[in-house]
Amino acid sequence: MLNSLPQSSAPSPVSTFWVAVDQDLFAALREWRLWTTLGWNDIRQKYRRSMIGPFWITISMAIFILILGIVYSRIFHVGVSEYLPFLTVGYITWGFISLTATESCTAFLEGERIIKQIRLPYAVYVLRVVCRNFIIFLHNAVVFVPVAIIFSVNPGLHGLMAIPGLALLCLNLSWVALSLSILNSRFRDLQPIVTTFVQIMLFVTPIMWPLSTLGEATYIAEINPLHHLIDIVRAPLLGKSAEVSSWLVAVALVFAGSAASMWLLRRASRRLVFWI
């Protein structure tokens, strides 16, 4: 008699986790029109009444890259025709990474009024930051065009691999941004720490210095995940093949980082509105 009664089983932690993922992450992806519009509107508001808008960043970056390329090519004893394209792609990609990391700390704080009035997936506010910085990245990518023409850089078919490279970079930046936005909402001291960390990583990542300058100490770059994320974008645009290890690291980071960030969001989702 007892065996015939229906037995209720509690949902497993794994199934509960993926339900939470569906409720927030997938719901945010379905709202892609919303966060792309918000990201584009952020840029329009920032450069309102400006004649050339975000191209001011492009102009300043072009001047910086030109001066740094001439000086550092002599320091590292590398020809300008080889060093300047290397620096251009690396620094533009780094700008996308650094801006997204630092601005993501205040993603929920920027959307405080909306969060307290309308129930939207939390990932929407993070994807808004990633989207607007990706638009700025596309503006800055214009700098590479004259550099590639002047120094005869022909990506060829290798250049097509920059598309999946950028996709992996955006996916990794998304989970990093989500994690930082949650943690900074709880611990406001995180933002200056992230800013300092980003400044340090600029000098320990092969962006301004070629990997060849390390000699046998290439492990310094190999253990740096930022090197791999930049390599899968920079190498194809320079007409080279990125290392297989760089692709593997980028893919592994997507799965591991996404799982960690969604676990963090699930733990903090009910208290997040009170933290901001």
In this predicted model, what pLDDT tens digit does every residue of 99-139 receive, in sequence order?
Answer: 999 999 999 888 888 888 888 888 899 999 999 999 999 98
| Contacts of residue 30, Cβ cutoff 8 Å, sequence gap at least 6 | none
With bands split at pLDDT 50, 70 and 90, how would you rate the model's confidence at 21?
Answer: low
pLDDT at 38 over 70: yes
Token pair listed for 181: 């936005």
With bands split at pLDDT 50, 70 and 90, how would you rate the model's confidence at 275?
Answer: confident
Is 65:89 a contact under the CB 8 Å cutoff?
A: no
Identity of residue 94? W
Q: How much is the pLDDT for 1? A: 42
Token pair listed for 15: 């199934």
pLDDT tens per residue across span 228-252: 999 999 999 999 989 999 999 999 9
Calculate what percentage of the chain has a pLDDT beyond 90.
47
More confident residue, 24 or 11: 24
Give the CA angle between residues 133, 96, 189 to the nearest 5°: 85
pLDDT at 166 over 90: yes
**Whole-angstrom distance, CA of residue 201 vs CA of residue 60:** 21
Q: How much is the pLDDT for 51? A: 65
Average per-residue pLDDT for the chain: 86
Q: Residue 12: how many CB atoms within 10 A of its CB?
A: 9
**Whole-angstrom distance, CA of residue 209 vs CA of residue 228:** 15
Q: How much is the pLDDT for 257? A: 93
Phi then psi for 208, rounded to 5 degrees? -95, -15
Query: pTM (2 decimals)?
Result: 0.86
For range 78-99, the mean pLDDT: 93
If you search the block for the tokens 């892609």, which residue do you land on? 32
Q: Where are the domains of the chain?
A: 27-40+53-209+217-275
Out of 16-20, 169-173, 237-241, 269-273, least confident range: 16-20
pLDDT tens per residue across span 181-217: 999 999 988 999 999 999 999 999 999 988 877 777 7
Q: Residue 101: how many CB atoms within 10 A of its CB?
A: 20
